[in-house]
Amino acid sequence: MTQGRIVAGALAPHPPHLIYAENPPQNEPRAECGWETLRWGYERLRRDLAALELDVIVVLSPHWQTYVGTHLLGVPAFKSLSVDPIFPHLFRYHYELTVDVELAEAVHDAGRAAGLEMKMMRNPDFRVDYGTIVSCHLVRPDWALPIVSISSNRASSYYNVDVMQEQAKALGRATAEAIRASGRRALLLSSCSLSHRHFVTESELPEDMSREHITHHGLYLWDMELLRMIRSGRTRELVDVMPEFIAQAIGETDSGALTWLLSALDYPEVPGEVYAYGTVIGTGNAVVGWLPEEARR
Ligand code: 2X7
Ligand code: FE2
């Protein structure tokens, strides 16, 4: 078997608004428009990814929250309706997806060998979380690839941010090791926003873009600082400032998703391509790709 590899990685935020605004057939609510900067950024990322040969998408989502260890989907296929608990008027999405259970088990085993608490999720009626669904849809709306879905074990809430960081780094290394041994060509997705303070009221028309902006300038400054680091290849420094970012910008990266991704990519020093930055109900979201040279036009 040829050695597997992580072909590309992406920061792929999951506000359900981005699917709502695009009106795909799987989603019931209909929209006029909205959040074009982010949606067109995703469109360009999809175009670049189309140049790559991929076998699997591996995604870590903050909205599958497991408090005893990290869990992985361990059933070959899921089909159901996903309804966002906070935005049920925007996201009622009929999903149908397949899972690369063999690779999921390999990540599970590699994590265990590294001393992490890991568990395979074998309930066929399990409802897949909307973060996983939204990020995977926005990256590959045809769902042609199987996924490996990894939970967030919420170590930053249950213990503290430093425990989260160490566990996410170890999980990233274990994920990379399992992919290498599997022979798969993988795309990794960190499914999360950057700054994550959101408005608690919504305009009458959710896609009214005259109401959309960051909740606070300080959060914008933090998001720009992180994007400057990404654009200049300073990803180790980014991981080092992650605890401060999470505390000050209420980062959704407290899930470990971005630390996991950068660890799995072994802290890329090549500039990450920022396809888009924009706010969704006040939160800061960036679509970023770490793609091989041949995919970047
Ligand atoms: O889960 C989310 C999110 N992270 C950001 C914005 C809006 C909704 O859902
Ligand atoms: Fe979220």
Domain ranges of the chain: 5-291
Residue 91 zone, left/alpha/beta (φ > 0; ψ -120 to 50; rest) = beta
Closest CA to 249 of 281, 272, 273, 226: 226
pLDDT of residue 293: 84
Pairing outcome for strands 185-190 and 56-65: parallel
Token look-up 């140049």 returns 51
Ligand 2: centre distance to CA 131 (Å): 6
Q: Bridge partners of 8?
A: 187
Which CATH architecture does the domain made up of 5-291 adopt?
Answer: 3-Layer(aba) Sandwich (3.40)
Residue 56 to residues 173, 227, 297: CA-CA distances in angstroms?
A: 18, 27, 23
Burial 99-121 (b: 16+ CB within 10 A, else e): bbbebbbbbbbbbeeeebebbeb
Q: Considering only CA atoms, which residue is closest to atom 7 of ligand 1?
A: 15
Rounded CA gap, 254 and 270, in Å? 24
As a residue count, the chain comes to 297
Q: What is the pLDDT along the chain (297 residues), one digit of tens a residue?
A: 799 999 999 999 999 999 999 999 999 999 999 999 999 999 999 999 999 999 999 999 999 999 999 999 999 999 999 999 999 999 999 999 999 999 999 999 999 999 999 999 999 999 999 999 999 999 999 999 999 999 999 999 999 999 999 999 999 999 999 999 999 999 999 999 999 999 999 999 999 999 999 999 999 999 999 999 999 999 999 999 999 999 999 999 999 999 999 999 999 999 999 999 999 999 999 999 999 988 876
Q: Is 193 in the pocket of ligand 1 (CB under 6 A)?
A: yes
Ligand 1: centre distance to CA 15 (Å): 4
- Which helix (H) or strand (E) segment holds residue 261: the answer is helix 257-264
Taken in order 213, 242, 85, 286, is the CA torsion positive or negative? positive
Q: Is 234 in the pocket of ligand 1 (CB under 6 A)?
A: no
Q: Considering only CA atoms, which residue is closest to atom 5 of ligand 1?
A: 15
Q: Is 206 in the pocket of ligand 1 (CB under 6 A)?
A: no
Token look-up 């260890």 returns 69
Q: What is the pTM of this model?
A: 0.98
Q: Is 283 in the pocket of ligand 1 (CB under 6 A)?
A: yes
pLDDT of residue 205: 97
Q: Is 15 in the pocket of ligand 1 (CB under 6 A)?
A: yes
